[in-house]
Structure formats: structure tokens, C-alpha cells
Amino acid sequence: MSEPQPATAQDYAARIARVLAWMQARLHEPMPLITLAEVAGFSPFHFHRIFRGMVGESVQQHVRRLRLERAAGLLKTTERSVLDIALETGYESHEAFTRAFRRQFSCSPTSFRETMRGTASPSPSNFSPMTYSTDELQVELRRLPSRMLLCLRHVGPYDQVGSTWERLCDWAGPRDLIGADTEMIGASYDDPDVTPADKLRYDACLTVPAGTVGEGEIFVRDFPGGMFATMLHEGPYQELGATYAKLYGGWLPQSGYVAADPPCVEFYLNEPETTEPEDLLTQVCIPLKTS
């Protein structure tokens, strides 16, 4: 796998364009993540996030859409059977294909064929990068100091981290480890577009004094700090993905920086139990390579 090159917007756009073209030409083949990342010249971890940020949909969504669009073209311009086209599109049955087709085009393959027969074939999708306004990309570079963290690991969907937080705070609270200056930090290791929801790794973390000792699953570790690109996310936690897309797909490509290995960290600036979801403030921080 190639090392990340000096990063420019054109360079990122060129790499994404390269992989899009590669995918377009092989829609009937399986597309392992590793191969796609290699074609683009990104590490597999960052590839999906950069892709989603720049293209505006995940790799899976993109492939599914292109395959269905191609199938639509075949329906219009050929006499091949629906089942035949379904199989070539990567579906194992007529029914599964029809369901997916209906979701995309709001009609069945058969009625699509009937109404569209004879019209021009749809042109293959062209790539134009998502554009973000300067207002949307208010990014601050920060050097975060190292900290001692008291952590509890959560594995599962991000919208279920609440119970992990509760367990951590129930342990730390009576031991006087939560005070006015305690910071609540979430560390995430996986990209929800890539890793299945039930396997997402996340640490709920509280800043604690040096010398603190954990117990059982609750552990203490050193957060080394370093350079981060940060953006303030305002609104429900369920919408954090949009802020990550802006950072990885909007800001990073034109920044001249290269993303470092995870975790990404989130600082929670208010209490979710007593704050309206629209008022929640989260400082999202993605790690950068420094050399």
C-alpha cells in the first residue's frame, strides 16, 4: 500500500476520481475495501471517510446506486430478462433486486422497462466533488495536551453508549473522580460506514488525576495528545457523521495535512440528560500527522 503523499485538494480529488473510475469499470465484480483503498492510495481506515466526505455517499451506497443505475440502463436498452439483469447486478433473486430497485427508482423493474423503453440510455455518473462553503468548514487546529483518562470500552452502536457512560460515572462519582473540571471525552476507533454497528469500538473517558487506578473493566490510560483538527458540532449526536464528513472530505483534502491513526476524540461540552438535542455541543477532533 502506498504511503500518503503530500496532500492537496487536486491530489485528493484525483485519487477519488481514479478509484471512482476503477469502480465504474468493474461494477459486476466484488470490491474489497483493501483493494479500493490501494487504488486510491489511502489507508483503508481513512479511505471510507474521505470517500464519503468527497463523494457524498458511502462506498456501499455508491456501488449499490451505480449497479442499479446500470441495471436500469440494461432494462431500457436490452431484452434480457429481469432475473438475468438481477444476477449480473449482484442480487441473488428477482425479489431482492426488485425491492432494491423500487427503493431507488420508486417503481418495479418491469414497469420501468415498459415506460422507459426507447428513451436514451442514462449516462454513467460523473464525479464532481461535494462542495462545502467556508462557513461549513470552520476548523481550528489544536495541540491537545496529554491527559490521564479513566475509560470504559463500549462495543456496539454509537447511539447506545449512554449505558456505558452511566456505568463509568456510577463508579467514578462516589470515588470523587468527577469534579467541576472533569472532561467527558469519547474516543472512537472505527468508521460507522465500514464497521458493522455491533462491532464499533468506543471508549467513554473521564479525565482523572495521575495515580488513579481502575477496577475490573474500568481502566486508566494515557492519552498522548498531539495535533488535531477540530470542529464544533452543534446538534444531536446522531448527526455527528455529517461533521466527520466535513472534516475528512471537505477540510482535509485542501488542508495540506494528512490524517493520523485513530482514535478520533469528541469532547462533550454539555450534559445530554439535561440538554435539548439541538443544543448539544461536541468538539470533534481528528488526529493529524506531524513530521
Q: Residues 158-197 vs other proteins: string with x where CB under 8 A?
A: ------------x--xx-x-x-xx----------------
Q: Which is nearer to other proteins, 63 or 184 (CB)?
A: 184
Which span sits near other proteins by CB under 8 A: 40-48, 51-59, 247-255, 263-271?
A: 263-271
Choose between 176 and 198: whose C-beta lies nearer to other proteins: 176
Q: By CB under 8 A, tell whether 61 contacts other proteins.
A: no
One DSSP character per residue, 249-284 reads IIIGGGTT--B-SSPEEEEE-S-GGGS-GGG-EEEE
User: Cβ of residue 244: shortest distance to other proteins, in angstroms?
Assistant: 21
3 contributes a contact to other proteins by CB under 8 A: no
Rule CB under 8 A: choose which of 270, 277, 289, 290 binds other proteins. Answer: 270
Choices 42-50, 136-144, 190-198, 265-273 (CB under 8 A): range interacting with other proteins: 265-273
Binding site for other proteins (CB under 8 A): 170, 173-174, 176, 178, 180-181, 232, 234, 267, 269-270, 273-276, 279, 281
